A and B are shown apart, each in its own frame.
Chain A
Amino acid sequence: MKAVGTMNKTLFQRAKQVLTEVFEQRPDARSAYVARVCHDDPALHAEVCALLDAERASEHFIETPLFGHLRASLPTST
């Protein structure tokens, strides 16, 4: 796992900000939106696109909780 440097943190924060806005867009408007917002920042554009690809591919990823099926007793409403 690569170390997390200051540059990575900045890129992460900016990509997160863009993604928050992207998720508000209609799916067919997203790539145009990303291209517009990141037009002067190729690194940010690449990061956002990579995360969007991963987001599409990760629909079922870690969706089943490890202890969920082992629950001894579901709490009744209190």
Chain B
Amino acid sequence: MDAPADLPASSASDALAPAITEVLHAWEMGDEAALGQLMVLVCDDLRRMARQQMQREHAGHTLQPTALVNEVFLRFHDRRRVQWDGREHFFGYAAQTMRRVLIDHARGRNASKRGDGQRPLALDEALHVAAAQNVDLEALGEALDSLDDLDPRQARIVELRFFVGLTHEEIAAALEISIATVKREWRMAKAWLYRALRD
């Protein structure tokens, strides 16, 4: 992953640096490598936002999505305006988006395997991480859809943890629930999905 070098460390994308604008443009032109770069940056932003929420737990601050996250969601969903009904809504939406991007990519890869010699994509690296754990992402996606019908919060926790990479503490802050609840729901969701994938 080549992060644009001119981004300030504290906020990778708030200013929507020219480098990110270029990546956004490349993505719109259908460049899957650019999409992978964006997803890594968005994951970083989501994590940063969750950590800010942890520190501002009692200060009554409202959620401030970064410019990159806003931009990606707008373009991804072709919506001009998204009203976030609180933290849980925002992070839930983000989690589902990340999951959809990756599983769509997995489907595309399975449909048309490309030859060697192409530059590795961030999305492909993520697929390798799944394969190394013997996880069939398409099957997991279907199982997550079923779990979503039964228990949407468990589905969001799985997405934030497995797809975005947030910690239990960060998920608790993002969804405004206790860490103990995150741990318990994660444990149950894992068992439920594990069984669904092996049935």
Using Cβ atoms and an 8 Å threshold, which residues of chain A touch B132? 64
A51 touches B195 (CB 8 A): yes
Using Cβ atoms and an 8 Å threshold, which residues of chain B touch A20? 184
Q: Residue on B with the closest CB to A69?
A: B129
Using Cβ atoms and an 8 Å threshold, which residues of chain B touch A55? 187-188, 190-191, 194
Q: Is B143 an interface residue (CB 8 A)?
A: yes
Question: Is the contact region of chain A dominated by helix, strand, or loop, or is it mixed?
Answer: loop
* Interface 0/1 of A1-42, CB less than 8 Å to B: 110100011001000100110010000000000000000000
Q: Residue on B with the closest CB to A63?
A: B133
If A20-B184, A71-B44 touch, does A54 touch B192 (CB 8 Å cutoff)? yes
- How far, in angstroms, from A12 to B148 measured CA to CA in the complex? 12
Smallest CB separation, A73 vs chain B (Å): 6
Interface with A: B81-89, B109-117, B157-165, which one? B157-165
* Interface 0/1 of B9-41, CB less than 8 Å to A: 110100000000000000000000000000111
B150 touches A23 (CB 8 A): no
B51 touches A75 (CB 8 A): yes
Q: Number of A interface residues, CB 8 Å?
A: 36
Smallest CB separation, B70 vs chain A (Å): 18
A19 touches B47 (CB 8 A): no
If A70-B40, A76-B10 touch, does A1 touch B102 (CB 8 Å cutoff)? no
> Contact residue range for chain B?
35 or more
If A1-B142, A4-B149, A61-B193 touch, does A71 touch B51 (CB 8 Å cutoff)? no
Q: How many residue pairs between the two chains, A and B, have CB atoms under 8 Å in the bound complex?
A: 120
Task: Report which of A62, A70, A77 forms a contact with B158, defined as CB distance below 8 A.
Answer: A62
Using Cβ atoms and an 8 Å threshold, which residues of chain B touch A76? 9-10
B192 touches A73 (CB 8 A): no
A67 touches B40 (CB 8 A): yes
B146 touches A1 (CB 8 A): yes
- How far, in angstroms, from A78 to B48 measured CA to CA in the complex? 9
- How far, in angstroms, from A9 to B150 measured CA to CA in the complex? 6
Q: Is B94 an interface residue (CB 8 A)?
A: no
Q: Is B52 an interface residue (CB 8 A)?
A: yes
Smallest CB separation, B149 vs chain A (Å): 4
What is B's interface to A at a CB cutoff of 8 Å?
1, 3, 9-10, 12, 39-41, 43-44, 47-48, 51-52, 55, 98, 102, 122, 125-127, 129-130, 132-133, 135, 140, 142-143, 145-146, 149-151, 158, 161-165, 184, 187-188, 190-196, 198
